Amino acid sequence: MSQAPFALPRPLRPRRLLVRSARFLVPLIYLCSSTALAQYPAHPVIGTTINPADISALDKAISDDAFKGRGPGTSEGEAAADWIANEMKRIGLGPGNNGSYFQTIPAVSIDLDAARSTFSFRTPDDALTPRFPDEVVYWTPRYASDEVKLVDSPLVFVGYGVVAPEYHWNDYAGANVKGKTVVILINDPGNEDNHPDPSFFKGKAMTYYGRWTYKFEEAARQGAAAAIIVHETTPAAYGWEVVRNSNSGTRSWLDAPDKNASMVGIEGWITLKTAKEVFKRDGLDYEGLKAAANRRGFKAVEMTGETLTVDARSTVARITSRNVVGVIRGTRHPDAYVLYTAHWDHLGVKPDAAGPDKICNGAVDNALGVSSILEIATAFLHDKPPPRRSVAFICWTMEEQGLLGSLYFAEHPLWPLKHIVGGINLDANLPEGRAHDMVLAGFGSSQLEDMLAEVLKTQGRVLTGDPEPEKGHFYRSDQFSLAKFGVPMLSPGGGYDLIEGGKAAGQAVHDDYRIHRYHQPSDEWNPDWDLSGPIEDLKAFYALGRELADSEVWPNWYPDDEFRTIRDRSMAQSQ
């Protein structure tokens, strides 16, 4: 397949909407295990156009308590995947994987037995044993054994734990951390301040070096025995309860030949208060060292006299989970694919969660994303003529475990990645009113943005960059897995400049969700949601996808983008 030159689409006219009420059918029965049957929510009756009643009905069903928070690999979580596959089949999507709606993901779950495990710092002022999960969360990714021990591993403060040659930065320069425990700051150097040097990383905007996944990966490359990240609410953009809820239960990894022996033996987070106490006991000034870590020339600091001892006892189990894939085959170019994606999994049941409700339903994160792409699929299926290129709708698993479902797809694609034209990933876009703008994580990256901006003009809207680039949203969801392999992907996040209330109202909506519902049991379906904003967004996403599917356009990353070289190399192989 040759790469066609890029061209902007013609402006599209908004589709006329016919709103229908949603009602529920007789409940369907799903087989949850070999020994038990469970009843799950019925499929709602869906209209043929994009409308809020459809979205709300789908979201209510997918985020129902019966699915127990959609934990991947659990009977209830996999029943949710079955539910989505049945919905795809019911509305008319074809199976996307050689006759199946599923791509099976081999994985491993590791459940730390906190009652039998220990985590303690030995300091000059006696031992400091932070409470799990209120002051520390930790785990092991290794599964050759059900017990991983670490005895008196010396502590080394490595600043942000970054090795970035393109920025002339190496926090590990001159340090030997093999067998030691590295203590790491969250985010990037400089992104909490408006740094005067514009070449200092990306200023306020986070790079991938600021992601916790990178920090653990780099610590492993350096030979560290343990890697502990210090949590700070302001730069992290979420509170400790999010860290606790995301990491205090069962964790999953893709099954690896070496059983993750190449990864750091102990990974974890500690609260800022705990970190300051550790530094204080060694006679170190946390704030002073943090300031030093933001300047060129920083050198790692041995925390003399302080060590970490851990005994991590876990229950290890091999599990399978599944990406759910439905496709509309193109009439002219069936081997070229436009993607709409959203992750179906969430955090499951959290016994340690505050309050009586322990189920993290994830109604916004990300039942709303799944509901949205199913609604777009319905619009494609009822709009004529059929698309010329194939349009695929993928619901990822294990996003909350580190983007694992999308990573597995990128490493084991159902179709050659060079055949994927581009895609849109929806993740936790909020119920809110209509907006003057649409915010895009990773703004300024690809030609897909130019196409989306043209579509938004038909709605009287503009495309804008993320007002909180320091939070690194582009690296925090599944679009990143495909972008790393060169596939152009968009990560839109709704609007901030609301028609009613402006930017202040938009920021308030986002802050309220982040503080009170994100990764908490309170993220539940609400019949009073204002979905007028998401509906307008979905119409724009549909229009963009339709234009891509009916064109010969092959959008690329901008020439100076970090993913451009990968895409160019991939596409050159198809010439």
What does the pLDDT read at residue 286? Answer: 97
Shared domain for 437 and 344, answered yes or no, is: yes
Shared domain for 308 and 399, answered yes or no, is: no
Shared domain for 207 and 349, answered yes or no, is: no
Residue 378 predicted with pLDDT over 90: yes
* Average pLDDT, integer, range 516-541: 95
Quick one: pLDDT band at residue 505, thresholds 50, 70, 90? very high
Please enumerate in sequence order all residues whose Cβ is within 8 A of that of 332, keeping only pairs 6 or more positions apart, or say none.
388, 389
Shared domain for 172 and 146, answered yes or no, is: yes
Q: How far apart are CA 73 and CA 495, in angstroms?
A: 34
In the chain, the number of structural domains is: 2
What are the DSSP E strand ranges found in 411-461? Answer: 420-425, 437-441
Residue 5 predicted with pLDDT over 70: no
Shared domain for 392 and 539, answered yes or no, is: yes
Q: How far apart are CA 105 and CA 397, in angstroms?
A: 9
Residue with tokens 């008319």: 92
Quick one: pLDDT band at residue 49, thresholds 50, 70, 90? confident
φ, ψ (nearest 5 deg) of residue 377: -60, -40
Residue numbers of the domain that contains 190: 110-316
What does the pLDDT read at residue 207? Answer: 87
Q: How far apart are CA 376 and CA 157, in angstroms?
A: 48
Q: 131 and 303 in contact (C-beta within 8 Å)? A: no
Shared domain for 33 and 177, answered yes or no, is: no
Shared domain for 414 and 497, answered yes or no, is: yes
Residue 474 predicted with pLDDT over 80: yes
What does the pLDDT read at residue 22? Answer: 33
Q: How far is CA 15 from CA 9, 207, 211, 446, 458, in A?
A: 16, 38, 39, 26, 11
Cα Rg of the chain, angstroms? 24
Q: At what angle do helices 75-91 and 369-382 cross, to 10 degrees?
A: 20
Q: How far apart are CA 81 and CA 59, in angstroms?
A: 14
- Asked whether residue 413 is assigned to any structural domain, the reply reads yes
Q: 189 and 169 in contact (C-beta within 8 Å)? A: yes
* Average pLDDT, integer, range 32-53: 62
What does the pLDDT read at residue 206? Answer: 86
Q: How far apart are CA 134 and CA 378, in angstroms?
A: 44
Give tens-digit pLDDT for 207-254: 889 999 999 999 999 999 999 999 999 888 789 998 998 888 789 999
Shared domain for 55 and 115, answered yes or no, is: no
Among 8-12, 99-103, 243-247, 494-498, the minimum mean pLDDT is found in: 8-12
Shared domain for 168 and 247, answered yes or no, is: yes
Chosen domain end from 257, 285, 316: 316
Quick one: pLDDT band at residue 47, thresholds 50, 70, 90? low
Quick one: pLDDT band at residue 176, thresholds 50, 70, 90? very high
- Nearest one of 2, 7, 146 to 553, comparing CA atoms: 7
What does the pLDDT read at residue 157? Answer: 98
DSSP SS3 for 433 = coil
* Average pLDDT, integer, range 61-75: 95
- Asked whether residue 24 is assigned to any structural domain, the reply reads no
Quick one: pLDDT band at residue 470, thresholds 50, 70, 90? confident
Q: How far apart are CA 448 and CA 392, in angstroms?
A: 17
* Average pLDDT, integer, range 521-550: 96
Q: How far apart are CA 239 and CA 135, in angstroms?
A: 12
Q: How far apart are CA 476 and CA 459, in angstroms?
A: 28
Shared domain for 177 and 281, answered yes or no, is: yes
* Average pLDDT, integer, range 531-558: 96
Higher pLDDT, 109 or 1: 109
- Nearest one of 49, 41, 24, 25 to 84, comparing CA atoms: 41
Shared domain for 252 and 196, answered yes or no, is: yes
CB-count burial class (<10 Å; 0-12, 13-18, 19+) for 415:
middle
CB-count burial class (<10 Å; 0-12, 13-18, 19+) for 505:
middle
Quick one: pLDDT band at residue 472, thresholds 50, 70, 90? confident
Residue 173 predicted with pLDDT over 80: yes
Shared domain for 417 and 449, answered yes or no, is: yes
Higher pLDDT, 246 or 314: 314
- Asked whether residue 16 is assigned to any structural domain, the reply reads no
DSSP SS3 for 289 = helix
Residue with tokens 């990764």: 519
Residues 491, 496, 497, 502: what is their CA dihedral angle, to the nearest 10 degrees? 170
Q: How far apart are CA 524 and CA 56, in angstroms?
A: 12
Chosen domain end from 265, 292, 316: 316
Give tens-digit pLDDT for 343-361: 999 999 988 788 899 999 9
What does the pLDDT read at residue 25? Answer: 29
What does the pLDDT read at residue 10? Answer: 29
DSSP SS3 for 188 = coil
| Cis-peptide, bond into residue 385, ω within 30° of zero | yes
Q: How far apart are CA 20 and CA 533, in angstroms?
A: 18
Give tens-digit pLDDT for 132-159: 999 999 999 999 999 999 999 999 999 9
Q: 408 and 485 in contact (C-beta within 8 Å)? A: no
Average pLDDT taken over every residue of the chain: 90
What does the pLDDT read at residue 516? Answer: 93
What does the pLDDT read at residue 236? Answer: 82
* Average pLDDT, integer, range 379-395: 96
Residue 395 predicted with pLDDT over 70: yes
What does the pLDDT read at residue 534? Answer: 96
DSSP SS3 for 436 = coil
Give tens-digit pLDDT for 403-458: 999 999 999 999 999 999 999 999 999 999 999 999 999 999 999 999 999 999 99
- Asked whether residue 324 is assigned to any structural domain, the reply reads no
Higher pLDDT, 23 or 546: 546
Among 116-125, 198-207, 277-286, 319-328, the minimum mean pLDDT is found in: 198-207
Q: At 388, list the tokens.
A: 């010329």
Neighbours of 499 (CB within 10 A): 16
